[in-house]
Structure 1
């Protein structure tokens, strides 16, 4: 351990960390290129070639030229994912879009029937409509 002092370990770890950050940034940009639906195929191919052949310059130019769009696409994707998750939760929980489940609606119908606000025929019709 005397051949490799603590400062050299620190510098090695720093360079390794920066290399990992660089790879994350590169993959983020490549996925953003493919995710952008406004860009045509030739533009995507051009950006990919630029980023692969001249990686440091290509990534720097991409971030400068299209960084704001990257953020907007990320926000849009996050909102779509959140909406899909909420729809899945609603469907799995068995609730209607208004937030009330079939059991809640059926309980309300029974309460209305017990109070006399609904006749037996109206209750059966509403129950059939609710359960189908």
Structure 2
């Protein structure tokens, strides 16, 4: 063995903390970069040239570009994110309402058919009246 070997106990604890800090900062940086790029594409107020300009600026001068974007358009980023969350919540609520209403209609149709069947069994309505009422309930 001619080269030097660095063992784990040769790496100081402060070095581990420093490396962890820089790793965390890089992950945070990439998260912010992708968040900015996503916001650029999500913004309907920007035309195609403005979007291309921001993307080029962010990719050519990443640190300065992202910081300037956050300073200039940061408030709008927050509003767009809130608007997106509200739209998703409204879509979910609408889906739940439609699904719940469909279940209620089926239950009420079944109840109405059961009542209609009981009325027919008692002899209060004829077979023809029963069929017309049944068709009306089902359609």
TM over 0.5: yes
| Greater radius of gyration (CA) | 2
Partner residue in 2 for 1:18: 25
The separation in 2 between residues aligned to 1:58 and 1:44, in whole angstroms, is: 13
Unpaired runs of 5+ residues, structure 2, are 1-7, 120-128
Partner residue in 2 for 1:75: 82
1:87-108 deviations in whole A, cap 9, x for unaligned?
44556x4x43xx7523222144
Q: Which moved more, 1:17-26 or 1:1-10?
A: 1-10
1:108-127 deviations in whole A, cap 9, x for unaligned?
42476458xxx747742541
Assess if the C-alpha contact under 8 Å between 1:50 and 1:58 holds in 2.
yes
The separation in 1 between residues aligned to 2:55 and 2:106, in whole angstroms, is: 54
Higher-RCO chain (CA-CA 8 Å, sequence separation at least 6): 2
Assess if the C-alpha contact under 8 Å between 2:36 and 2:66 holds in 1.
yes
Q: TM-score, normalised by structure 2?
A: 0.73
Q: How does 1:112-123 map to 2 (within 5 A)?
A: 113=116, 120=130, 123=133
Partner residue in 2 for 1:101: 104
The separation in 1 between residues aligned to 2:23 and 2:114, in whole angstroms, is: 67
Coordinate RMSD, CA, aligned:
2.7
| Matched residues, number | 124
Assess if the C-alpha contact under 8 Å between 2:113 and 2:134 holds in 1.
no
2:72 paired with 1:62: no
Assess if the C-alpha contact under 8 Å between 1:51 and 1:58 holds in 2.
yes
